[in-house]
Amino acid sequence: MTALSFLDYASVFIFALTGALTASRAQLDVIGFAFLANLTAVGGGTIRDLLLDRNPIFWIDAPSYIVIATIAAALVFLTAHLFESRQRVLLWLDALALSVAVAAGAGVALSLGHSPIIVALMGAVTGTLGGLMRDVVANEVPLALKQGELYVTAAFAGAIAALITTQITSNSLAALAACTAVTLILRAGSIAFGWRLPVYKSRPPQE
Amino acid sequence: MTALSFLDYASVFIFALTGALTASRAQLDVIGFAFLANLTAVGGGTIRDLLLDRNPIFWIDAPSYIVIATIAAALVFLTAHLFESRQRVLLWLDALALSVAVAAGAGVALSLGHSPIIVALMGAVTGTLGGLMRDVVANEVPLALKQGELYVTAAFAGAIAALITTQITSNSLAALAACTAVTLILRAGSIAFGWRLPVYKSRPPQE
Amino acid sequence: MTALSFLDYASVFIFALTGALTASRAQLDVIGFAFLANLTAVGGGTIRDLLLDRNPIFWIDAPSYIVIATIAAALVFLTAHLFESRQRVLLWLDALALSVAVAAGAGVALSLGHSPIIVALMGAVTGTLGGLMRDVVANEVPLALKQGELYVTAAFAGAIAALITTQITSNSLAALAACTAVTLILRAGSIAFGWRLPVYKSRPPQE
């Protein structure tokens, strides 16, 4: 297994956990868990593959991705009641999945020889759109658009870290590691310590 | 006309009726009816075709699908005030469209020689995503994710029935019929008699 | 630069402004502005390109579209507090972007030799779906589905104007101009003077 497909499998598994946790908050049945888990797990990568015209789509090529996501859904269905705060678990798993998926998305675009701007965008698309679909379908405020959180920002910063590392070392493994680390650190700092960029305010400060 | 394109036309027409009924609940104008009818009618099949890289998309190849969906929208625009409970009509039409569309989606994947897991998934995608888009765009709770209803479950069970029938008889017409029947029976049982799978509960039962 | 790519750039820039204004209402950070601006700006054209199987997608071919949309987001981030009624500005900019994007979408389908019905649909898809995604993601009632407004109707009328002009003059520049003018006039009339089609009413008038 290559580093890139390992990242794909890891992000699929972890995103599937977050989809299933969202299903548990909506009190769905086990197939509803599997549905939301798979939508979240393969959603971002599917859009990446459609945009880059990769055929076949990664999970049509290797349906084991679907198997993995469905196992994750079953695991959550059986164990979610053991967690005291599912929302907190969801938040941290989502952070982990985001950082792995950004690396997977940027890695695919890099390996296809795309320009730096497309590499950064594919990292962000792959990282954020699965979770965005999960939240839109479940009618929750998308994590990606929550006020005053580093989310898309973390994804972009990670993708840019991958680009810089590739320039310096031309070692794609190092680039993927740098990408995951930067995204995770920024996102974790935002969750744990409230790191953020200034947000737009409707009125400028009075003097 | 082949059995497969008959199913496609039937599911497009019936899903268009449900889209138009949703438009009537939102009190849109006639073009709003046509828009939501078409989104619902061709949405699931469009995503199936994009995922399977079928070119051209079925309704770009045969715009008569759009004509059919638009006629359905006009019919509903003219007659919907005659129904006492539009929500109930919508529910049953949606059940019918779901079972036909699952067969259409699974049939296409079967005829392209895809593996069983992809056939089942394409059945579910074609059956559920048009209605899901209708509900997300109209800002309603998606039927597919309503608590304690067989919906995605019915779609999957139908697709699996198609797979089993194909193994036994290698008669694709029988497979499509089995798929439609199983999906419709499960979905109808859920609407009429409250059939359901156990749903996730946040707390396990006390002893 | 051809007339068609000028229209694409113009609609990307103006739609990006509307996405960023929506971000300002949600009080996002600057990257959130860029995200929503880009989703709105390239969303409709991306779906057009996926449906028509145009490869590569227009903004993957020319990432300058992303640069333009991001500049628009930055402009709004820096200046939006100067506007008294951002909702009003958004409405008018959206009308302008709609009319330009319908022309861009119809123009692409015309230049690929598609049938009239597909040309009209691609105009409507390109014009309306970017704004629809913006509103769905930001959890607002989609402008395209607001009760008693000409929106999808204006888009369709514009696309039909393009088709008629092409029949008469076979001058594609005139067709694009007619499309933009008709869409904009109908949409502007709807905003300013309340022009509308009759909407569906649940009860027929009593006599």
Which residues of chain A does B117 touch, with a Cβ-Cβ cutoff of 8 Å? 63, 66-67
Q: Is the pLDDT at A200 greater than 80, yes or no?
A: no
Q: Per the CB < 8 Å rule, is A30 touching B121? A: no
The answer to whether residues A60 and A148 touch, using CB atoms and an 8 Å cutoff, is: no
* pLDDT confidence bin for C184, thresholds 50/70/90: very high
Q: Is the pLDDT at A19 greater than 90, yes or no?
A: yes
Q: Is the pLDDT at A203 greater than 60, yes or no?
A: no
The ipTM assigned to this model is 0.88
Query: What is the C-alpha to C-alpha distance for residues B3 and B176, in angstroms, rounded to an integer?
Result: 9
Of B181, B169, B163, the C-alpha closest to B106 is B163
* pLDDT confidence bin for A202, thresholds 50/70/90: low
Mean pLDDT of A74-85: 86
C121-167 confidence digits (pLDDT tens): 999 999 999 999 999 888 888 888 887 789 999 999 999 999 999 99
Identify the pLDDT of residue B132. Answer: 94
B30-74 confidence digits (pLDDT tens): 888 999 999 999 999 999 999 999 989 999 999 999 999 999 999
Identify the pLDDT of residue A199. Answer: 77
Which residues of chain B does A83 touch, with a Cβ-Cβ cutoff of 8 Å? none
Mean pLDDT of A181-186: 97
The answer to whether residues C103 and C8 touch, using CB atoms and an 8 Å cutoff, is: no
Of B126, B175, B151, the C-alpha closest to B15 is B126
Contact with chain A for residue C58, Cβ under 8 A:
no
Where are the alpha helices (H) located in chain B, listed in sequence order?
A: 3-25, 30-51, 58-61, 64-79, 86-111, 116-137, 152-169, 172-193
B26, B32, B63 member nearest C152 (Cβ): B32
Which residues of chain A does B201 touch, with a Cβ-Cβ cutoff of 8 Å? 27, 81
CA distances from C199 to A78, B203, C95, C145 (A): 48, 47, 21, 12
Q: Per the CB < 8 Å rule, is A145 touching C28? A: yes
Pick the residue of B24, B25, B48, B60 with the most C CBs within 10 A to test the interface with C by mutation.
B60
B69-88 confidence digits (pLDDT tens): 999 999 999 998 887 778 88
Identify the pLDDT of residue C102. Answer: 96
Q: Per the CB < 8 Å rule, is C200 touching B66? A: no
> Which DSSP string corresponds to chain A?
--HHHHHHHHHHHHHHHHHHHHHHHTT-BHHHHHHHHHHHHHHHHHHHHHHTT-SS-HHHH-THHHHHHHHHHHHHHHHGGG-S-HHHHHHHHHHHHHHHHHHHHHHHHHHTT--HHHHHHHHHHHHHHHHHHHHHHTT---GGG-TT--SHHHHHHHHHHHHHHHHHH--HHHHHHHHHHHHHHHHHHHHHH---PPBP-SSPPP-
A121-161 confidence digits (pLDDT tens): 999 999 999 999 999 888 888 888 887 789 999 999 999 99
Mean pLDDT of C43-68: 94
Sign (positive/negative) of CA torsion C156, C160, C165, C166?
Answer: positive
Instruction: Take residue A89 and report the two structure tokens written for it.
Output: 């678990």
Q: Which residues contact A146 (CB under 8 A, 6 or more apart)?
A: none
The answer to whether residues B119 and B21 touch, using CB atoms and an 8 Å cutoff, is: no
Domain ranges, ordered by start, for chain A = 3-145
Which residues of chain B does C124 touch, with a Cβ-Cβ cutoff of 8 Å? 35
Select the more confidently predicted residue: C33 or A4. C33
Mean pLDDT of C192-196: 92
The answer to whether residues C33 and C77 touch, using CB atoms and an 8 Å cutoff, is: yes
Does residue B197 come out as left (phi exceeding 0), alpha (psi in the -120 to 50 range) or beta? beta
Query: What is the C-alpha to C-alpha distance for residues C116 and C129, in angstroms, rounded to an integer?
Result: 20
Select the more confidently predicted residue: A198 or C157. C157
Judged by CB atoms within 8 Å, which residues 125-184 of B form the interface with C?
136-139
At residue B29, what are phi and psi to the nearest 5 degrees? -85, 180
The answer to whether residues C54 and C4 touch, using CB atoms and an 8 Å cutoff, is: no
Percent of chain B with pLDDT over 90: 71
The number of C-alpha atoms within 13 Å of B181 and in the hemisphere containing its C-beta is 9
Task: Give the predicted TM-score (pTM) of the model.
Answer: 0.91
Mean pLDDT of A11-40: 92
The neighbour count for residue C39, using CB atoms within 10 Å, is: 24
Query: What is the C-alpha to C-alpha distance for residues B140 and C92, in angstroms, rounded to an integer?
Result: 28
* pLDDT confidence bin for B207, thresholds 50/70/90: very low
Of A33, A47, A117, the C-alpha closest to A75 is A33
Identify the pLDDT of residue A5. Answer: 84
CA distances from A92 to A89, A192, B152 (A): 5, 10, 28
Q: Is the pLDDT at A193 greater than 60, yes or no?
A: yes
Judged by CB atoms within 8 Å, which residues 88-127 of C form the interface with A?
none
Opening angle at CA C192, ends C191 and C194, nearest 5: 70
Place of tokens 């105009």: C123
CA distances from B68 to B16, B176, C123 (A): 8, 22, 20
Q: Is the pLDDT at B8 greater than 90, yes or no?
A: no
What is the average pLDDT value for chain C, to the nearest integer? 90
Which residues of chain C does B57 touch, with a Cβ-Cβ cutoff of 8 Å? 51
Contact with chain C for residue A206, Cβ under 8 A:
no
Where are the alpha helices (H) located in C112-151, listed in sequence order?
A: 116-137
Of C48, C39, C101, the C-alpha closest to C70 is C39
Identify the pLDDT of residue A144. Answer: 87
Identify the pLDDT of residue A57. Answer: 94
Instruction: Take residue C61 and report the two structure tokens written for it.
Output: 């071919």
Query: What is the C-alpha to C-alpha distance for residues B101 and B84, in angstroms, rounded to an integer?
Result: 27
Q: Is the pLDDT at C84 greater than 60, yes or no?
A: yes
Neighbouring chains of C at 3+ CB pairs under 8 Å are A, B
Identify the pLDDT of residue B82. Answer: 82
* pLDDT confidence bin for A87, thresholds 50/70/90: confident
Q: Is the pLDDT at C206 greater than 50, yes or no?
A: no
Which residues of chain C does A128 touch, with a Cβ-Cβ cutoff of 8 Å? 35
Opening angle at CA C118, ends B111 and B67, nearest 5: 75
Distance from A21 to chain C by nearest Cα, in Å?
A: 21
